[in-house]
Amino acid sequence: LKTAWSSLDNTWTVEALRLDTNETVTFTCNFLWMCQGYYRHDVGYTPEWEGMEDYSGRIVHPQNWPQDLDLTGKRVLLIGSGATAATLAPAIAGKCAHVTMLQRSPTYFIPGRNANELADILRQLEIDETWIHEIVRRKILFDGGEFTRRSFEEPEAVRDELLAGVRAFLGDEAVKEHFTPKYRPWSQRIAFVPDGDLFKAVIDGHASVVTDEIDRFVPEGVKLKSGKVIEADVVVTATGFHLSVLGDIAMTVDGKPVDMSKTVTYRGMMFTGVPNLVWVFGYFRASWTLRVDLLGDFVCRLLKHMKTRGVKRVTVELRPEDKDMPLGPWMDPEDFNPGYLQRGGHLLPRAGNKPEWRHTQDYWREKDELPKIDLDDPIFRYGN
């Protein structure tokens, strides 16, 4: 519900709601570690299209999937082209009468075996599981780093490789019409298609893809800007999520409400003017848990450092040389620009143009940099 910091006793007071009894409970602590992720989990994002109230069928969002929904024999219109749509379409194809995936613009996909060949080979050779874990982990991280680097340095080559993977299933005409995005690879998430199941559903005739924009809803379905009407018994809006900043929890520091958009982020985990708090925000182009590990080590090191110094409070502050630093959005839209960031980016803290004052999104740098952070840097202000 809400949390409040008091500098008089260096304490956070957290008011929470017990879901089983619906009663308010209160906790106090000296340090807050925020681990809510960045999606709002209670409801997904559905645009307001004209005529939705005229539609005679059912509209659902995958994040709030109703238990009583039976798609047997139903014509399903799936709006969206991201990972949710690419996962849902093959899952319901063949179980409903037909599923049409309607997209405003295409997404990059990577089809591949839903297995790790290196791990399978090492197990066949009876290598110790501890070794297998470490080798496979390093291989995945190496490949991910190279893929990210190439997406910036040679984007056209990466683009051609990604399109070739889809072309192997659907041919050149379908790729040109429905699977060629206009943006640079990795400026939005790339969806993995296990064993090409989405494309196989299209080949089998259980699913189809339409690239167009919605004009309005009509009683029988959706009218497109091209004039075509897609008839549907059920419309599924796989249209994204709402951004949640620190769990949407109301926060005060010494009685003053905290507006996170007015703070400046320290390495995407701490914020100017907010004491004794770290937010776990992972990576867009690498596993989220990689940064969870790094920040877990950092928090433990920071708490130990505070205990050694005999202090109970730490806040990050701009240094004199940072005062005139240009500030921009948390994430440069030229770097990464999915819809939820474009819609909710104004809620996030500001970022500077120095590595200390931004979330680099670069695991391959941070794995070396974060463990070496100087906790006596003037950025950290300690006290009691």
pLDDT means per 10 residues, the chain with 384 residues, are 96 95 96 92 91 96 93 97 93 96 94 93 97 96 93 95 96 95 90 94 96 97 97 96 91 97 96 97 90 96 98 97 93 81 89 93 93 97 95
One domain for residues 138 and 228: yes
One domain for residues 325 and 261: yes
Q: Is residue 134 part of a domain?
A: yes
Extract the tokens encoding 132: 């297998």
Q: Is residue 29 part of a domain?
A: no
One domain for residues 64 and 185: yes
Q: Choose one of 237, 267, 298: the last residue of a domain.
A: 237
One domain for residues 209 and 283: no
* pLDDT score at 98: 97
* pLDDT score at 343: 87
Number of domains in the chain: 2
One domain for residues 93 and 193: yes
One domain for residues 228 and 286: no
Of 275, 324, 299, 288, whose CA–CA distance to 375 is shortest?
299
Q: Is residue 59 part of a domain?
A: yes
One domain for residues 260 and 233: no
* pLDDT score at 40: 87
One domain for residues 175 and 274: no
Q: Choose one of 209, 237, 265: the last residue of a domain.
A: 237
pTM: 0.86
One domain for residues 224 and 301: no
Q: Is residue 351 part of a domain?
A: yes
By residue range, what is the domain housing residue 318?
Answer: 256-383
The CATH code of the domain that includes 180 is 3.50.50.60
* pLDDT score at 333: 81
One domain for residues 158 and 110: yes
One domain for residues 218 and 322: no
* pLDDT score at 326: 95
Q: Is residue 280 part of a domain?
A: yes
Q: Is residue 31 part of a domain?
A: no
One domain for residues 87 and 222: yes
Q: Is residue 329 part of a domain?
A: yes
**Length of the chain as a residue count:** 384
Q: Is residue 172 part of a domain?
A: yes
